[in-house]
Amino acid sequence: MCMILLRSFLERYWFALALSVVIIIWALRTRRRVRGASQPVPRPRPPSGSVGPVPFRGADFAAKVTIVQRFHSKTIGAIIDFGFLTVVVFAAPGLPRVMRTAIAVAAGIGAAVSWLVLAIRDGPLLRRLGLYCPRCGDPLVGGSENEVAAEIVVGKTGQCRCGAWVLDPADLPSGEGPGKTYLPAPPIGRRPLP
């Protein structure tokens, strides 16, 4: 009788049991990663001025990054607002169909224009603020979905991803410096920068 009940229970709820096992394993692994990441080993940093001339001091770089992030948040916020307006218009009762369509089209055009402003004005803003790496030419702000943002890499290591120093080591927080966490290993046959 007990085996029949257990078998019936497993047949009905096998997916919930499997999902709960996966969630428990994921939670334990995440907990271990968070604990490991919260206790970073201090990285050595070179003395101030030993890496040659650098284009930024820490506070200057942070102020310029703030300007770019404010621009990004305004334009992305406008895109989200226009998208939300489109959803609200279609959910609002009592509006004539023509009015809904007109407002939705206007909101869609507004979202597209906001996206174009972000795409067109981002490069000149970075150029005006000098937020490009002097060696490889990559932007020092932003990143892709699978990378740590470039401004975080520069803020933590003082270097671009290519290894060029862009911040004075004296401006790095205590215990921060070049590390494997943010900077890729140099290709074989190419020695790292001093």
> What pLDDT, on a 0 to 100 scale, did the predictor assign at position 180?
61
Q: Residue 183 is which amino acid?
A: L
Amino acid at 43: R
Q: How far apart are CA 43 and CA 157, in angstroms?
A: 9
Q: What is the CA radius of gyration of the chain?
A: 25
pLDDT at 190 over 70: no
Residue 192 near residue 160 (C-beta atoms within 8 A)? no
> Could you give the percent of the chain with pLDDT greater than 70?
78
Most confident of the following: 85-99, 114-128, 146-160: 114-128
pLDDT band at residue 67 using 50, 70 and 90 as cut-offs: very high
pLDDT at position 116:
92
Considering the chain, what is the average pLDDT of its residues? 79
* Mean pLDDT along residues 73-101: 84
Asked whether the CA dihedral 123, 129, 135, 138 is positive or negative, the reply is: negative
- Residue of 66 and 174 predicted with greater confidence: 66
CB 148 within 8 A of CB 180: no
Classify residue 142 as left (phi > 0), alpha (psi -120 to 50) or beta.
left
pLDDT tier at 159 (50, 70, 90 boundaries)? confident
* 100 Cα distance to chain centroid: 35
Predicted TM-score of the model (pTM): 0.63
Q: Each residue of 96-137: pLDDT tens digit? A: 888 888 888 888 899 899 989 988 998 899 899 989 988 888
Of the pLDDT bands very low, low, confident and very high (cuts 50, 70, 90), residue 138 is confident
At 43 the pLDDT is 60
The backbone torsions φ and ψ at residue 38, rounded to the nearest 5 degrees and listed phi first, read -80, -10
Summarize the confidence of residues 131-154 as an average pLDDT. 82
Query: What's the confidence (pLDDT) of residue 189?
Result: 53
Residue 186 has pLDDT above 70, yes or no: no
Query: What is the rounded average pLDDT of the residues 157-179?
Result: 76
Q: Which residue has the higher pLDDT, 112 or 45?
A: 112
